[in-house]
C-alpha cells in the first residue's frame, strides 16, 4: 500500500478506513470439508478459538502447537464434537520442525488452502518493557512465521476461490509507533523496500539489544521486542502479497490485528474474548473471493492504511 494513498481509497479491493460487512448471512460457501486450514499456536487462546471456529464452518483444520501433549489435548474435544480437526506438532522457530511439518502436510493431507500464522510469544507483563528475550520473540513471531510461510507456499492449492494467508498481527507494529525517521522512510518506500532490508532491520534491532543501545534508537516504546516482531511481519506480509500478485499466484496475504484480547499473553486483561476474535478472524479468512483483498492490514474488520494509523 503506497503512502500516497489516502483513507477512503481502495487497497486491492478493500476500501481503506471502511469496516467490512462481516455479518453472517445466507450465501453459498466457497469452501467445503475438503478445504484445509492450518492454524499455528492453536492449543489455546486465539489460535484454539480460530481453529474451532473454522472447523465449525465445515473446513478441515490442522491444529498445531509446540507441545505435543497440550496440542492433542486441545484437538481431542473438537474431534469429539464431530469436527474435522487433526493435530500435528510444530515449532515454527525450529527449521527441522517446519520441514517435517511441510513434508507431512504434503504427503498426508495433500496441501492446504488457508494458513493462519498465529503462533507468537511475549515475555512482558502489561506494564513492563524488557528485551531480555528479544531473540526468542523475533525468532518465533517474525522469522518463524516467515519460515513456515515460505515452506508451505508450494503446497497451496490455489483454487479458483484463492488460497489465503492470514497473519495475526498487532497495531503495535504499525509505523506510527516508530520515531526513527530513517527507519520510517525505509518502510514507507515500497518501490525500494525488500525482504532483505526487513531482515536487516531486525538484525539491527537485535544487535542494539546486545550492545544496550536499543532504547534510544526510535523503536516502538511499548513491548518493544514484540512490536518490532510485528513491524517486521507487517512489512514482510505486504512484500509477500506484492510478490505473489506479480507472479499471478492465487494466494492472498493479509494481516489481522484483533486488538487487546483476554488471553494468557495479556494475563487475562483485554477488551475482547478469544471467541469474539475468532468470529471476526474466521470471517476474514473466509471472505468471498470477489471481496478478498491482499496486502491489507485489518484493525478488527477495518482495512487500514499501514502508514497512517
Q: pLDDT-derived band of residue 14, with 50, 70 and 90 as boundaries?
A: very low
Residues ≥6 apart with Cβ < 8 Å to 270: 259, 260, 261, 262, 263
Bridge partners of 117, per DSSP, are 167
Q: How confident is the model over 206-236, as pLDDT tens digits?
A: 999 999 999 999 999 999 999 999 999 999 9
In a domain, 5, yes or no: no
Q: Is the pLDDT of residue 3 over 50?
A: no
In a domain, 139, yes or no: yes
Strands 36-39 and 114-117: parallel
Return mean pLDDT, the chain: 88
In a domain, 6, yes or no: no
Cβ(71)–Cβ(39) under 8 Å? no
Q: CA dist 284 to 56, 160, 205, 255, 297, Å?
A: 15, 17, 32, 10, 11
Percent of the chain with pLDDT over 90: 74
226 an active-site residue?
A: yes
In a domain, 2, yes or no: no
In a domain, 4, yes or no: no
b (16+ CB within 10 A) / e for 8-42: eeebbbbebbeebebeeeeeeebbeeebbbbbbbb
Q: How confident is the model over 43-89, as pLDDT tens digits?
A: 999 999 999 999 999 999 999 999 999 999 999 999 999 999 999 99
Count of all residues that appear for the chain in the document: 309
Backbone φ, ψ for residue 63 (5° rounding): -90, 125
Q: Is the pLDDT of residue 166 over 80?
A: yes
CATH number at residue 51: 3.40.50.720
In a domain, 153, yes or no: yes
pLDDT for 133 equals 98
Q: State the pTM of this model.
A: 0.89
pLDDT for 129 equals 95
In a domain, 24, yes or no: no
Q: Structural domain of residue 59, as residue ranges?
A: 11-19+29-304
Which grid coordinates belong to 275?
471467541
Give one DSSP letter per residue of 153-213, joined into a string: GGGB---TT-EEEEEE--GGGSGGG---HHHHHHHH-TTT--HHHHHHHHHHHHHHHHHT-
Q: pLDDT-derived band of residue 271, with 50, 70 and 90 as boundaries?
A: confident
Which grid coordinates belong to 261?
484480547
In a domain, 69, yes or no: yes
Per the structure, the count of domains in the chain is: 1
The active-site residue, picked from 143, 226, 236, 306, is 226
Q: pLDDT-derived band of residue 190, with 50, 70 and 90 as boundaries?
A: confident
Amino acid at each position: 500500500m503506497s503512502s500516497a494513498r489516502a483513507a477512503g481509497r481502495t487497497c486491492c479491493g478493500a476500501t481503506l478506513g471502511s469496516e467490512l460487512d462481516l455479518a453472517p448471512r445466507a450465501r453459498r460457501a466457497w469452501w467445503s470439508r475438503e478445504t484445509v486450514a492450518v492454524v499455528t499456536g492453536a492449543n489455546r487462546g486465539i489460535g484454539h478459538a480460530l481453529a474451532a471456529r473454522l472447523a465449525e464452518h465445515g473446513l478441515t483444520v490442522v491444529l498445531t502447537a509446540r507441545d505435543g501433549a497440550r496440542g492433542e489435548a486441545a484437538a481431542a474435544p473438537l474431534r469429539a464434537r464431530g469436527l474435522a480437526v487433526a493435530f500435528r506438532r510444530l515449532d515454527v522457530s525450529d527449521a527441522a520442525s517446519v520441514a517435517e511439518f511441510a513434508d507431512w502436510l504434503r504427503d498426508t493431507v495433500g496441501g492446504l488452502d488457508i494458513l493462519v500464522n498465529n503462533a507468537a510469544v511475549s515475555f512482558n507483563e502489561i506494564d513492563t518493557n524488557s528485551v531480555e528475550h528479544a531473540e526468542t520473540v523475533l525468532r518465533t513471531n517474525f522469522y518463524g512465521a516467515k519460515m513456515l510461510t515460505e515452506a508451505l507456499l508450494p503446497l497451496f492449492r490455489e483454487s479458483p476461490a484463492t488460497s489465503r494467508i492470514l497473519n495475526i498481527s498487532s497495531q503495535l507494529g504499525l509505523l506510527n509507533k516508530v520515531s526513527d525517521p530513517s527507519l520510517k522512510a525505509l518502510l514507507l518506500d515500497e518501490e525500494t523496500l525488500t525482504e532483505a532490508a526487513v531482515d536487516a532491520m531486525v538484525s539491527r534491532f537485535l544487535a542494539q539489544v546486545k550492545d544496550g543501545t536499543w532504547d534510544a534508537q526510535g523503536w516502538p516504546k511499548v513491548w518493544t521486542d514484540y512490536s518490532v516482531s510485528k513491524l517486521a511481519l507487517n512489512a514482510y506480509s505486504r512484500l509477500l502479497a506484492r510478490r505473489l500478485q506479480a507472479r499471478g499466484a492465487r494466494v492472498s496475504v493479509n494481516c489481522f490485528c484483533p486488538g487487546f484480547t483476554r488471553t494468557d499473553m495479556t494475563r487475562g486483561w483485554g477488551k475482547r474474548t478469544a471467541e469474539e476474535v475468532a468470529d471476526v478472524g474466521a470471517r476474514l479468512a473466509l471472505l468471498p473471493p470477489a471481496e478478498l483483498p491482499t496486502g491489507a492490514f485489518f484493525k478488527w474488520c477495518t482495512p487500514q492504511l499501514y502508514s497512517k494509523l
